[in-house]
């Protein structure tokens, strides 16, 4: 069930587009993502599905984010998570009302912790 603090699908799609536009330009994150992503449009659609599943319960995302990240464990360094989170916070602060930005930021923080633990064991 969607709470008032959750963004709608259009807002999540705008956030994902903005975030990945900046990721591609980032001197540290860009090369890591470019090595992993062949089709940016498909990736962004998949991530909209991911975020709408997390935040809105859409159930559209079908995949295993942990497995996808493990494939690139050698390139994903711990300091990149801080950069990823900072960029996500910046984009969400710029595109969403404060309560909605806080909600997606909290989710991203939990995802980062989980993925960092997983990658540390790889």
| Residues 39-49: tens digit of each pLDDT | 999 999 999 99
Which parts of the chain fold into alpha helices (H)? 9-25, 29-36, 40-56, 65-70, 78-95, 98-121
Q: What is the mean pLDDT of residues 94-117?
A: 93
Domains and CATH numbers, the chain: 9-121 (1.10.490.10)
User: Cβ of 79: how many Cβ atoms within 10 Å?
Assistant: 9
Res 100 pLDDT > 70: yes
Which two structure tokens, joined as six digits, stand for 111?
């995802």
- Which is more confident, 67 or 36? 36
Of the pLDDT bands very low, low, confident and very high (cuts 50, 70, 90), residue 73 is low
């Amino acid at each position: 069930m969607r709470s008032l603090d959750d963004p709608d699908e259009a807002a999540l799609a705008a956030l994902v587009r903005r975030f990945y536009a900046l990721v591609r330009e980032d001197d540290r994150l860009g090369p890591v993502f470019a090595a992993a992503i062949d089709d940016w449009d498909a990736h962004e659609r998949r991530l909209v599905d991911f975020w709408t599943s997390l935040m809105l319960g859409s159930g559209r995302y079908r995949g295993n984010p942990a497995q996808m990240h493990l494939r690139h464990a050698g390139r994903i360094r711990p300091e990149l998570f801080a950069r990823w989170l900072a960029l996500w916070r910046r984009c969400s602060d710029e595109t969403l009302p404060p309560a909605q930005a806080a909600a997606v930021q909290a989710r991203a923080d939990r995802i980062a912790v989980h993925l960092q633990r997983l990658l540390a064991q790889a």
